[in-house]
Amino acid sequence: MDIAKTVAIVTGGASGLGEATVRMLVGAGGRAVILDRPGSPGEGLASELGERCAFVAADVTDEAGVSAAVKTTKERFGGVHIAVNCAGVGVAARVLSKEGPMSLGLFNKVIQVNLIGTFNVLRLAAAEMVRNEPNAEGERGVVINTASAAAFDGQIGQAAYSASKAGVVGMTLPIARDLASLGVRVMTIAPGTFDTPMLALLPSEARQALAAGIPFPRRLGRPQEFAQLARQIVENPYLNGETIRLDGALRMPPK
């Protein structure tokens, strides 16, 4: 797809991987709606990027909120062609600790946001995409989900997070097959350890240790590299139904 002719919804678009993706899309001539939580920096980012960007506050797990965001996107920019799911939460908790079994509520929250929230946005965005006129390749839309290297080699304390991201990986191909006849492609990116606001909370020594564990390049991933891959997915019509690891050959150890 030609990004300059598209309208995108980016969840978690106010910071980190989502912000980099929004900047890439607008920079390439497209239009983007940042879908993020109330109180996020989304409104300021949209103001900075100008008239081809807008902010809509919503919780990805809220059906009515996301439906309203999709409607607002169409009313503001005329349609929806791309959905990039970057919204997510991460927690560390062992199944059993000195305090007892892991909280079922905590496990449920991670699944709700990372897996169910992704599916919620995906299905509602796709329902709008199929209204588009197909381009020369027959495409009407592209969905890009965000999983994690933890989907494949989760560490101690990552049972909830790994399960949620493995679910995103697992539904990529079936959904791509579901939507194939409608001209909507579905892809997933599985990032490794990226330099995002979440990691910025760690001490410098901890960040350096994480970077040292990456084979090559021996550094944290840059959000712009995630956005670059997202652009390549949008622009390459033969990419469909696959999860791409973006991790510098990282295979995470148990801890």
The catalytic position among 77, 161, 194, 226 is 161
Superfamily classification of domain 3-245: NAD(P)-binding Rossmann-like Domain (3.40.50.720)
Question: Is 238 designated active site?
Answer: no
**Is the pLDDT higher at 202 or at 179?**
179
Give the residue carrying structure tokens 């969905």.
143
Mean pLDDT of 224-250: 98
State which H helix or E strand residue 174 sits in: helix 159-180
Residue 132 has pLDDT above 80, yes or no: yes
pLDDT at 201: 67
Domain-by-domain residue ranges, the chain? 3-245
In sequence order, the 6+-apart residues with CB closer than 8 A to the CB of 109 are 89, 91
pLDDT at 205: 80
pLDDT at 207: 77
pLDDT at 246: 98
Give the residue carrying structure tokens 């760690």.
202
In sequence order, the 6+-apart residues with CB closer than 8 A to the CB of 124 are 63, 66, 67, 70
Residue 255 has pLDDT above 90, yes or no: no
Predicted model pTM: 0.95
Least confident of 192-196, 198-202, 236-240: 198-202
Helix ranges (DSSP H) in 59-116: 63-77, 104-111
DSSP symbol at 154: P
Residues 152-190 pLDDT 10s:
999 999 999 999 999 999 999 999 999 999 999 999 999
Q: Which of 247, 83, 61 is nearest to 150 (CA)?
A: 247
Q: Assign 198 a pLDDT band (cuts: 50, 70, 90).
A: confident
pLDDT at 137: 94
Residue 97 has pLDDT above 70, yes or no: yes
